[in-house]
């Protein structure tokens, strides 16, 4: 797995390289310190994953990721930041980022990279707890017009991340059968056929 790391703090990029390359299947192919460098590095190296901060000089991570994803729609972008601002989370979802983690959870970086590499999305626990309220914000959320409960919105988010019913059940403290029932009800409400259609529906709504 080939990764590019972009962060304006040189100590952080050095530490991330050490942490990431402790796993023998992952190599850090390039390091950048702002969004402009991220765009150039991605063009040059075509990595499997771009791990990028948000607040940086010259160009921030959101704008850099937006440019990259417009040019390379299959690009996998994972944000790693100290900021859990609602606005950043919504923008990350809208542009199609594969994940959003907070820097204090360094132990989750390698598992998250592997999850994203496998084609799934990953959000830190602190971010996941925010998503239902963001989804209910009528001023910014394309799901706000749907008659869904907070629990249903949270389950949709987990389905879109590629989690199994058991994994969702563990996260939301429900039985696996209950989660299955929730998903059936959600599919019926939205006139969708299966989990795949539900995930596609979720991300299409965010990419309007």
Domain boundaries, the chain: 2-123, 133-206
* Planar angle of CA 150, 140, 92, nearest 5 degrees: 90
Burial class (CB in 10 A: 0-12, 13-18, 19+), 48: middle
- First-to-last alpha carbon distance for the chain, in angstroms, is 31
Architecture per CATH, domain 2-123, reads as 3-Layer(aba) Sandwich (3.40)
Q: At what angle do helices 176-190 and 150-160 cross, to 10 degrees?
A: 90
Q: Which residues have a Cβ under 8 Å from the Cβ of 174 and sit 6 or more positions away?
A: 168, 182
C-alpha closest to that of 2 among 45, 66, 58? 45
What topology does CATH give the domain 133-206?
Answer: Arc Repressor Mutant, subunit A (1.10.10)
Mean pLDDT per block of 10 residues along the chain (208 residues) reads: 95 93 94 95 96 90 92 92 72 82 84 89 63 51 64 85 86 87 90 84 68
Per DSSP, 27 falls in state E
């Amino acid at each position: 797995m080939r990764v590019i790391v972009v962060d304006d703090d040189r100590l952080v990029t050095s530490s991330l390289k050490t942490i990431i390359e402790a796993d023998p299947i992952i190599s850090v192919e390039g390091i950048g310190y702002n969004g402009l460098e991220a765009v150039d590095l991605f063009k040059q190296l075509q990595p499997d994953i771009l791990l990028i901060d948000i607040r940086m000089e010259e160009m921030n991570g959101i704008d850099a990721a937006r440019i990259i994803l417009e040019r390379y729609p299959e690009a996998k972008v994972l944000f790693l930041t100290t900021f859990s601002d609602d606005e950043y989370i919504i923008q990350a979802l809208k542009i199609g980022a594969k994940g959003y983690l907070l820097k204090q959870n360094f132990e989750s970086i390698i598992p998250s990279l592997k999850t994203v590499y496998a084609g799934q999305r990953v959000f830190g626990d602190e971010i996941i707890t925010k998503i239902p309220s963001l989804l209910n914000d009528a001023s910014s959320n394309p799901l706000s017009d749907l008659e869904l409960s907070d629990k249903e919105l949270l389950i949709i988010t987990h389905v879109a991340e590629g989690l199994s019913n058991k994994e969702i059940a563990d996260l939301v403290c429900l039985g696996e059968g209950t989660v299955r029932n929730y998903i059936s009800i959600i599919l019926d409400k939205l006139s969708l056929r299966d989990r795949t259609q539900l995930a596609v529906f979720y991300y299409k709504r965010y990419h309007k």
